Amino acid sequence: MSPPLEGLRIVAIEQYGAGPFGTMQLAELGADVVKIEDPSVGGDVSRYIPPFAEGTSSLFFESFNRGKRSVLLDLRHEGSREVLEDLVRGADAVFSNLRGDGPARLRIRYSDLQEVNPAIVCVSLSGFGQTGPRAGEGAYDYTVQGLAGWQSVTGDPAGPPTKSGLSLVDFCGGYVAALTILAGVTRARRDGVGGDADLSLFEVALAQLTYLGTWVASRSYEPVRRANSAHQSIVPFQNFETSDGWIVVACPKETLWRRLCVAIDRPELADEPTFATFAARDRNREALGELLSSVFASRTTEAWLDRLEGAGVPCARVNDIAAALADPQLAARGGIAAYSHPVLGEVRTPASPLRLTPDDGPGISRGPLLGEHTDAVLRELCAYDDERIEALGRAGVLG
């Protein structure tokens, strides 16, 4: 069978994290993602991110751009407009992750391109969207984590506000963008008319507040940072230190709380009024936390995992990344992919979690070298000949 997204073509004016992460999900399912890179600045800035960068290739870039085609095109050059429109003519979507004022400046909104392709879907993922007082501001994952309140509920209560260890706003934004592209193209193929999608990392981050956002907006709830990464209201649901490491223990159901009490040889706690219900444990979380901390400190991580898993209590070792990648579950499901890169050599990376049987996609492939596909794409999609491509090169349109 053909890859699930074969026949979907996206012109991607993107760089760094959120945007490239989103389009890579589609590329790894078979979409043709034509990545436009600005020759005047050396292409996507992520090509140069340390520590594993060599020339215009880096492992950072590979993590966000596998399976795409790279085209050098200076969109600020007056001679680039016709090239862009020729690319749009055969595309399903134009995607960008610029500042909110970028799509209007580059004329890549639906109103700018509908005469070229009435079914084109124009998706913009910016920091704050294309309207409002912040529309012209730039934003990065970590700044949005601060602005959207994430840092206020992350980290130790005695420490400073803390960002997530990973760029989760970017990754969530990428997934939202990928879903939006698919929804927009589905509608355009049905109705024959495209349109705009105006996405915002700030709004993506606010949406991820989920129940905390609902509680605050509806009942003026005041979330706080909890010790040992504890849940805001479910107790126990947190990290505990063992005699030789850390484990996560989760009791999001009353039945699981009862199992935990048996597993720690304290069955009487299950019916003790102080801890018998969700609400009671929340009210008395400090007392219960101290009690459980002393219990878990008495045995090793391995001993507790054996005992808790045997009792049916959700739990896990707190791994470092190397240990996580070595988990036998990952090996059993082919969770690590490998490929060869002409500059970087062998690259090993977590495989895409998007799996659609019987055919997941075209298989993993490396990210493109800078401008690697410029000539081929212009010939294939724009029907340009050698003379036309050489003229564009001499004019500086292609760098």
- Helices 374-382 and 386-395 meet at what angle, rounded to 10? 120
CA distance linking residue 324 with residue 330, whole number of Å: 8
Q: Is 196 a catalytic residue?
A: no
Q: Which two tokens stand for residue 137?
A: 């501001």
**Could you tell me if 378 and 83 are in contact, meaning their C-beta atoms sit under 8 angstroms apart?**
yes
What is the length of the chain? 399
| Backbone conformation region of residue 8, classed left if phi is above 0, alpha if psi is from -120 to 50, else beta | beta
Q: Which two tokens stand for residue 278?
A: 């969700």
Those residues whose C-beta lies under 8 Å from the C-beta of residue 290, and which sit 6 or more positions away, are none
How many Cβ atoms from other residues are within 10 Å of residue 246's Cβ?
16
Catalytic residue among 38, 44, 74, 170: 170
**Could you tell me if 202 and 148 are in contact, meaning their C-beta atoms sit under 8 angstroms apart?**
yes
Q: Which two tokens stand for residue 194?
A: 């495209």
The residues annotated as belonging to the active site are 170
